[in-house]
Structure 1
């Protein structure tokens, strides 16, 4: 399903609440085939975590696909959109500006360790009915400390601004496994292979090959999370053998497809270049 056709969710007003006595306001939601009504920003930072299902977060010219082993940190006042192509158990944490200063100042995918996951789930059960110096308040501050220590990952897609590059990217997104070479893509973009290769590096910071690899990984994660088999995903995305796809996935993300989606992965092995 195209994200543009997904039903729209009403804005969540918690992000605009300012209260230094509530360093974190948790919010639990069950979402199915939906997305934001429009790009938005709010004064509270937001940790977007799906304990089940896969999300797609768009911020500026970047697209981030997020499985249950990871979460997205959105700093205060950063415009973003969130889409849920499937069924998602959503756990939001809205952080007061005063406690979010140690977290990244740009949208970042963070690895969710077993401890961080349990803290997030516990915070949701506490809700916002806690007072300063209470056990609930102390839990929230421990959660902030753990968030600040979470490892970042780089499964993101910079989009670029040049019209030729955008034409190429739109074609790749429409058919991730269909274009094998930059020569074939250049004809779609109405430019030369050499120029297109330069545009990828200049506008996204990635080579054509590295950008395509990230696109395939993002697409694979979404399809696997929706229930498609590894074999189906591998061949649909242009791989001639299942073992070649699994090897690529493991080398890039440090785990097999099943381990990655379940959170049993080693971020130190991630190689998306």
Structure 2
């Protein structure tokens, strides 16, 4: 697999009219970013190893191994791949039915995972009556059945919300009170509370907690220990961090990592 820049150089997937086309890439030494852009096709960003952060106008997603982000056709977005990450891009024609109308994160079943990896080894210029075309049809149907994962941080076009998100992403351990954040954005406490709820659909406390979960996943999948992740997020107690993580995702960080590790080992056996 090539690095992100090498793989996408002089590569215009929108010129290919087939219903689905796959491309597998990897990030070599450091975290790599594909700047904001749009496609005529929809894009599935499937993480094989490491993690991908997807940024779109209305939300950010953290996509760990064996999950995927769905970006509908014509949606502005940016992808950041962690160090040594491996990613499979699946580009889908806008008229393919059954795909979500909004950006989201999707759970990928073991069967679909293997189908996606196999499809990435097939020719991109297949004909409509070929075996590859029939395989793509079954694969896309299976993809349309995948459930949505809660791995997003809702934001809006409002520059103050983006400023708030950028500040907390850069320093997730900042435990400043609601009143302090309101003052930083030149608002009263009550106005700030209403503002965040209106722009994100969440209270400030719930929204900040969701952001911390996304940051935690990014740290965990790149090798940071549970203890150090808790410290990076400003938790004095590892137990408190584990409780927050489990409440949000339904499993402890250790169990979450074990599940990802198992799926990654299963994936590696097929390369």
TM over 0.5: yes
Equivalence for 1:235: 231
Equivalence for 1:128: 124
Alpha-carbon displacement from aligned partner over 1:194-235 (angstroms, at most 9, x marks no partner): 111111101111110111011100110111111110000012
Equivalence for 1:215: 211
1:95 has 2:82 as partner = no
Equivalence for 1:118: 114
Relative distance call for 1:259 and 1:123 in structure 2 (3 A) is farther
SS at match of 1:179: coil
C-alpha separation in 2, matches of 1:182 and 1:23: 48
C-alpha separation in 2, matches of 1:50 and 1:62: 18
Q: How far is 1:48 from its partner?
A: 0.7
Equivalence for 1:63: 60
Relative distance call for 1:129 and 1:169 in structure 2 (3 A) is closer
Equivalence for 2:71: 74
Counting only pairs closer than 5 Å after superposition, residues 62-211 of structure 1 correspond to structure 2 as 62-99=59-96, 101-128=97-124, 130-211=126-207
SS at match of 1:191: coil
Q: How far is 1:163 from its partner?
A: 4.8
Moved more, 196-205 or 169-178: 169-178
Alpha-carbon displacement from aligned partner over 1:88-113 (angstroms, at most 9, x marks no partner): 111111112232x3111111110111
C-alpha separation in 2, matches of 1:28 and 1:165: 34
Equivalence for 1:42: 39
SS at match of 1:47: strand
Name structure 1 gaps, 5 residues minimum: 1-6, 266-273
TM (norm. structure 1) is 0.85
SS at match of 1:232: helix
Name structure 2 gaps, 5 residues minimum: 263-271
TM (norm. structure 2) is 0.85
Q: Any conservation in 2 of the 1:69–1:260 contact (CA below 8 Å)?
A: no
C-alpha separation in 2, matches of 1:135 and 1:259: 39
